[in-house]
Amino acid sequence: MTHVVTENCIKCKFTDCVDVCPVDCFREGPNFLVIDPDECIDCAVCIPECPANAIFAEEDVPADQVKFLEINAELSRDWPAITRTKKPLDDADEWNNVPGKLEHLEK
């Protein structure tokens, strides 16, 4: 089991989730974070930290977001670890809750 970062993180990347992770399982891309499913211990402390409500336990991922299980697993193999919270993307608040952001995912 793992936790999963889903679509609403794209173009927001608030990174509040990072500081609370006890096992440093977040990986950083240009405009999105993913969770390495091999490192996540399912502690769930990141869920309430995300201002975009983008993180779910695997079993709670909404049906239209299930593709993000594979996206997290795949991109976590290539992206570097992020272990400290940093400034969100400049227009994060404007993009929060905008639907259909998958097309903006930069790899």
CA distance 52 to 14: 8
Name the CA radius of gyration of the chain, rounded: 12
Residue 21 as a binder of ligand F3S (CB under 6 A): the answer is: no
Q: Per-residue x/- mask for ligand F3S, residues 23 to 42, rule CB under 6 A?
A: ----------x---------
- Residue 89 CB, nearest approach to ligand F3S (Å): 9
Give the residue carrying structure tokens 């990174």: 15
- Residue 4 CB, nearest approach to ligand F3S (Å): 10
Q: Which alpha helices (H) appear in 1-107, and where do they start and end?
A: 16-20, 67-75, 92-95
- Binders of ligand F3S in range 40-79 (CB under 6 A): 49-50, 52, 54-55
Closest CA to 75 of 26, 42, 11: 26
Residue 14 as a binder of ligand F3S (CB under 6 A): the answer is: yes
Pick 6 or 59: Cβ nearer ligand F3S: 6
Instruction: Please identify which residue in 4, 5, 25, 71 interacts with ligand F3S, judged by CB under 6 A.
Output: 5
Strand bridging mode 55-57 / 3-5: antiparallel
Indicate the helix (H) or strand (E) that contains 66: none
Q: Which residues in this chain contact ligand F3S in the complex, by CB under 6 A?
A: 5, 9, 12-17, 33, 49-50, 52, 54-55
